[in-house]
Structures are given as structure tokens and as C-alpha cells.
């Protein structure tokens, strides 16, 4: 039966305190009745709305920049929307929990957000329910993906209560609320609980491991937006470089540079396959392209010294007056389109870091981020640390998470053009420096060559690997993934566990992932 996201059985119920009479669950007659619901500590329940959905196809609405899509064969489920408030905070947080009426596998899967959105739009929830999970997400009481109007109070100060919700508080409330609701609905507690997210959702997963280590048995936190302030500011560096150089290379020039990167560095891992698997050894110099002609929209464009210098500085990353590097630059080979966007003869800062600076750091929505100088950016790196404790999510002390038996798994694309993998690698090394070699017992990172931000999605069995690690003790050494080479063709590869990289020893089919081995970076030839 095909239905929209709003197809209901019965009438939505709104109550101040949820007390319902339990009844037997049935796939054919979906129900939303449960015994009671306890509020997480420090919150009050303002309302509960229940909706019983029949089995069918879930329609995921279009949400820019993504497109709408369908999730077929979703089980009948009960949707419970709870509005929570923290007394004195002036917030109203919605938590959505979807409960399969039949075939529940005994597990909870909580879903994270993207950009400035704390929660999922429904697609991941539907997929989780389809697989038999109870699924949950929260809006943290804030806006949608690019909405930061919630950031400032009427007096012009940052609403730190809502920022705290967005940072981690609402994710913890969601874990507690969901487990309480599941116990009431099914009459038994969850056997395992999982967090799943990418980008902001990845950051939320790291925050849970650091601050609330008992919330989840397993956390899949991909391309995590940790070190939030630093990576946001680094995202404005390309605009600063272009503005100060008064040089705005065209998309065609940037594309030519990236094609040259692949040509120069493809073979460093032993195989010419349209992938760059040893990016650390890719020392391509963009100045070698000076004087090269590029066909751009029917016209010939010549790459200039100024173009090459802009590219070199973008890759190098922001530095202070003494030359100290403040954060990594755009990964060599990554797409320039988002962070080095231009409109005519001037730059156009990417909306997410631009709004972080204007709303949170400058506390002025009208501040023109496009006018930032390198000196001002350095000042922001140095002084703008007031929110690190709320949203930085990069405390390397995971000892309590390890003691709780939790498992943290991360896949980060090496050509992530928005949240550079530098942050994840630096964090992983800090955790190992603090806790030693035992880190691999509970925390593993996999780097995906030649892939962009959160691009792998379902093209790698990372969540299944996490479940096997948590429930069967099978720690993953490699992850099979579908990558895309420079010609746009799918390529099957085994992702290697950091710090090893993929290497082709010179024999075996290049189409067979098992022809490649994982070696220390220093072992890779080419």
C-alpha cells in the first residue's frame, strides 16, 4: 500500500502526561497504545502526539540540497512525538520515536542531523524501522539545516541553552526518553542501543561517547564535524585567499587542477585505477599548470601564476602571522565548488561557516562574512573559543566510554570538502596518545580514498560492521566500499583501518578488492 508520510490510522492524541492502556501488537492493526512515559531527568513533558502508520512506502520529502526519495516495504509502526522542555531554558524540543508494531529486533537506532539541523528528515528512520529497529531522532528545539535564527536572543546574546541542546543535551534526553518509551510500549528493555550519523550527526555521536558513555552500545559517527569552531573557520579560508589575491579561478580551472592531481598521484599506491589512495604522499605542485589552456564553456582559459598561488594557499590552510598553521586546508584533490564558490568577479562564502561566524561569533546576522581578511580570521581562531566546551565535541578522554564497553566506528572520506578529515585524524591520534594502543579495542577509523563529504552513505556496510563488533566481538579490520574513480565509474575497494592505506603489490585484478593489501604509509611504493 503506497502512502505519504502523513497517512494515519486512528486519531492523533495530545496529552500533558502520557498514560495509556497497553494492548497486543499486530502488524495488520497498527496501534500506539502504551502504559506510561517517564520524562528524562531535568525535563518536563509538554505534550505527546501518537500516530499509527500502516505498512507501506514512506515518501521522503525533498530537502535541499538533497532530493526526495521512497523507502518501500516499511513495517507498520507507531510514531510518538514528544515535546520536552528544560525548566528555565525557554525551549521546546521535539523528539520523534518510531516503534515497529511487529518484528521489533530488540534494538534502538537513534539518528543524527546535518549542518544546523539536529535530527533526521524521516528517510533514515523509515529504513531503521524497515530493518526492525525502534528508531528515534530529535530536533533539539532548533531550526532546519541552514536555519540559525534561533541562535540569538532578542537582546543580541547567543542562546546558549539552545546551543547546549544542539551540542549534546537533547541527544542524551533522546536516548533516555526512547528507552523509557520502548520499555513501556513493548514491555521489555532494549537489548542494544546504537547511534548513527554523518557530519553533524557524526559530531553528535562523538559528543555522546565523550559526555554520556552509557547512552549507546555502538556509535557510527562518520565524517564527524568535531572541533566545530576550527573547521568552520577553515571553511572560510578559500574565500579569504581569493579576496586578498583579487583572483577568482573559474570552476573549469579548479576542475583541471583536480584532474592533474589524480594524474600525478594515482600510481602512488601501486595501481593506476583513477583513485588516489596515498594522499599524504601526493606532492603535486599547481604551479606546474601555469600557462596551460583549459576549455571552459567553449572558451580557452589560461591558468595563471595567480590561479596557481590561490590553489596552493587554499591547500596549505590558514596560518597566523608567525606562519603557524591554524588548521588544515582543503584536501588536495577535493572539490573546490562549495568553499571556493564565486559569483561573477567576487567570492560567495559557504552558508554554514558564514552563518556560524555572523550569528554566533560576531552576533550580528548582517555581518558580511565575504569581507573577512586573513588577520580577522586569525583573530577569530585565537579568540573565538567561548563555545568550544558546548559544541567542540573533541575531548580525547574516551576512558569512560571504553569502560562502559562501547564501540565507536568512523568512516571519513579523504576528499571531504566540508569537514576536512584532518580533524578526525588529529582527534584519533590524541585519543591514542592519552589511552595507548588499547584504543583499537573500542575506537576505529577508516579513511575512504577519493570520496567527498558523507558520499558513501549506504555504499559501505559500516553499520552492519558496528553491530557485529558490538554483539559478536568481531572488530572490523577492513570495510568493503563502493568508491567512484576519476571517470565516474564505481570501483569496489576494501577501506583500510587508520593508519594503514590501500596498496597494490603488482599482481591480481584491479577490479578485485582482495588484490589490494593494507600497509603502513611508509611501505607504499610508487
Tell me the DSSP string of 445-474: EEEETT--TT--TTSS-HHHHHHHHHHH--
**Is 191 part of the annotated catalytic residue set?**
no
199: annotated active-site residue? yes
Q: DSSP assignment of 346-404, as one string? A: EE---HHHHHIIIIIIS--TT--GGG--HHHHHHHHHH--TTHHHH-------HHHHHT
Among residues 453, 462, 502, 524, the one annotated as catalytic is: 453
The residues, ordered by sequence, that sit 6+ positions from 51 with a Cβ below 8 Å of its Cβ are: 8, 10, 12, 32, 78, 79, 81
DSSP 2: B
Q: Which of 168, 170, 178, 199 is catalytic?
A: 199
Q: Which of 264, 268, 271 is nearest to 286 (CA)?
A: 264
Query: For residues 331 and 338, what is the distance between their CA atoms, to the nearest angstrom?
Result: 13
- What would the grid cell of residue 301 be? 582559459
Half-sphere exposure of 490 (CA within 13 A, CB side): 8
Q: How far apart are CA 194 and CA 213, in angstroms?
A: 12
Which of 121, 215, 416, 462 is catalytic? The answer is 416
Contact between 416 and 223 under an 8 Å Cβ cutoff? The reply is: yes
How far is the C-alpha of 216 from the C-alpha of 114, rounded, in Å?
20
* Interstrand relation of 443-448 and 407-413 (parallel, antiparallel or unpaired): parallel
Annotation marks residue 453 as catalytic: yes
Separation CA 409–CA 442 (nearest Å): 8
Classify the C-alpha dihedral 35-41-47-52 as positive or negative: negative
- Positions annotated as catalytic residues are 199, 416, 453
Amino acid at each position: 500500500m503506497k502512502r505519504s508520510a502523513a497517512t494515519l490510522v486512528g486519531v492523533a492524541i495530545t496529552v500533558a502526561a502520557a498514560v495509556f492502556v497497553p494492548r497486543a501488537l499486530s502488524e495488520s492493526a497498527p496501534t500506539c497504545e502504551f502504559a506510561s512515559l517517564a520524562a528524562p531527568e531535568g525535563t518536563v513533558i509538554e505534550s505527546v502526539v501518537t500516530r499509527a502508520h500502516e505498512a507501506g512506502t514512506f515518501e521522503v520529502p525533498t530537502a535541499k540540497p538533497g532530493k526526495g526519495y521512497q523507502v518501500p516495504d516499511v513495517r507498520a509502526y507507531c510514531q510518538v512525538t514528544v515535546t520536552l522542555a528544560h525548566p528555565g531554558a525557554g525551549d521546546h524540543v521535539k523528539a520523534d520515536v518510531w516503534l515497529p508494531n511487529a518484528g521489533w529486533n530488540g534494538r534502538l537506532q537513534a539518528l543524527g542531523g546535518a549542518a544546523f539541523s539536529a535530527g533526521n528528515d524521516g528517510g533514515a528512520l523509515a529504513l531503521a524501522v524497515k530493518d526492525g529497529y525502534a528508531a528515534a531522532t530529535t530536533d533539539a528545539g532548533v531550526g532546519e539545516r541552514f536555519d540559525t535564527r534561533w541562535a540569538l536572543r532578542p537582546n543580541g546574546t547567543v542562546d546558549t541553552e539552545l546551543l547546549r541542546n544542539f551540542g549534546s543535551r537533547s541527544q542524551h534526553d533522546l536516548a533516555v526518553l526512547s528507552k523509557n518509551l520502548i520499555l513501556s510500549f513493548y514491555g521489555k528493555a532494549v537489548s542494544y542501543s546504537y547511534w548513527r550519523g554523518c557530519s553533524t550527526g557524526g559530531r553528535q555521536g562523538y559528543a555522546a561517547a565523550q559526555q554520556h558513555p552509557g547512552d549507546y552500545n555502538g556509535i557510527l559517527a562518520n565524517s564527524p564535524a568535531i572541533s566545530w569552531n576550527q573547521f568552520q573557520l577553515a571553511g572560510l579560508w578559500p574565500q579569504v585567499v581569493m579576496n586578498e589575491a583579487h583572483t577568482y579561478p573559474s570552476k573549469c580551472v579548479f576542475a583541471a587542477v583536480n584532474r592533474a592531481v589524480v594524474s600525478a598521484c594515482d600510481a602512488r599506491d601501486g595501481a593506476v585505477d583513477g583513485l588516489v589512495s596515498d594522499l599524504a604522499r601526493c606532492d603535486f605542485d599547481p604551479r606546474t599548470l601555469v600557462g596551460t589552456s583549459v576549455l571552459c564553456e567553449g572558451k580557452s582559459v589560461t591558468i595563471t601564476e595567480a590561479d596557481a598561488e590561490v590553489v596552493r594557499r587554499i591547500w596549505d590552510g590558514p596560518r597566523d602571522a608567525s606562519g603557524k598553521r591554524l588548521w588544515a586546508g582543503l584536501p588536495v584533490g577535493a572539490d573546490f565548488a562549495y568553499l571556493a564558490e564565486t559569483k561573477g568577479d567576487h567570492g560567495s562564502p559557504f552558508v554554514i561557516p558564514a552563518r556560524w561566524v555572523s550569528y554566533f561569533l560576531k552576533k550580528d546576522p548582517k555581518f558580511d562574512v565575504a569581507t573577512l581578511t586573513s588577520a580577522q580570521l586569525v583573530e577569530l581562531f585565537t579568540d573565538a573559543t567561548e563555545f568550544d566546551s558546548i559544541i567542540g565535541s573533541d575531548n580525547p578522554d574516551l576512558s569512560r566510554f571504553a569502560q562502559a564497553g562501547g564501540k565507536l566506528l568512523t568512516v571519513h572520506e579523504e576528499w571531504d570538502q566540508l569537514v576536512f578529515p584532518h580533524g578526525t585524524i588529529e582527534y584519533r591520534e590524541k585519543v591514542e596518545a592519552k589511552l595507548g594502543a588499547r584504543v583499537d579495542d573500542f575506537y576505529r577509523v577508516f579513511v575512504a580514498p577519493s570520496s567527498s563529504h558523507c558520499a558513501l552513505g549506504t555504499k559501505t556496510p559500516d553499520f552492519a560492521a558496528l553491530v557485529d563488533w558490538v554483539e559478536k566481538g568481531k572488530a572490523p579490520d577492513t570495510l568493503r566500499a563502493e568508491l567512484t574513480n576519476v571517470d565516474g565509474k564505481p570501483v569496489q575497494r576494501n577501506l583500510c583501518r587508520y593508519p594503514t592505506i590501500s596498496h597494490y603489490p603488482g599482481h591480481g585484478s584491479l577490479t578485485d578488492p582482495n588484490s589490494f593489501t593494507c600497509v603502513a604509509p611508509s611501505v607504499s611504493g610508487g
